[in-house]
Amino acid sequence: MEMIVASAIAVLTAGGVYLLLRLRTFPVILGLALLSYAVNVFLFASGRLAIDQSPILSKYGEGVYTDPLPQALVLTAIVISFGMTAVLVMIGLGAYLEAETDKIDIADSPTKEDQA
């Protein structure tokens, strides 16, 4: 099982990094989403992988339990990355509508617009 989880994280991260390096907004957003999935699974794994265990110490059990803290961390991370992705989509859309291109690079125009 460690192998499956580890390779899942690896594939998600590799895909995320590849997409992050693209030059258009949409693939970059997808890449960040993939990276956040990868990190969520990774955070889960940081509390050791345990199957069929209760998330709290049971006074009847043998003292084996799955660590509840990473689950709380993952929940926070999911909420934050979800919100951030939404903001990013809106800003990406705004930039696309303003510039009429979804290229990430800023065109180096000789006469730069004034800041006002």
Which residues form the interface with other proteins (CB under 8 A)?
Answer: 20, 25, 28, 32, 35-36, 38-39, 42-43, 45-48, 69-70, 73, 76-77, 80-81, 83-84, 87-88, 91-92, 94-95, 98-99, 104, 106, 112-116
- Quote the least distance from Cβ 105 to other proteins, whole Å: 8
Min dist CB 89 to other proteins, Å, is 10
**Residue 12 exposed, middle or buried by CB count within 10 Å (0-12, 13-18, 19+):** buried
Closest contact distance (angstroms) between CB of 62 and other proteins is: 20
Of 21 and 61, CB closest to other proteins:
21
Q: Can you state the angle between helices 68-99 and 25-45, rounded to 10 degrees?
A: 180
Q: Could you identify the residue written with the tokens 């990094």?
A: 17
Tokens representing 7 are: 């390779």
Token pair recorded at residue 99: 């510039």
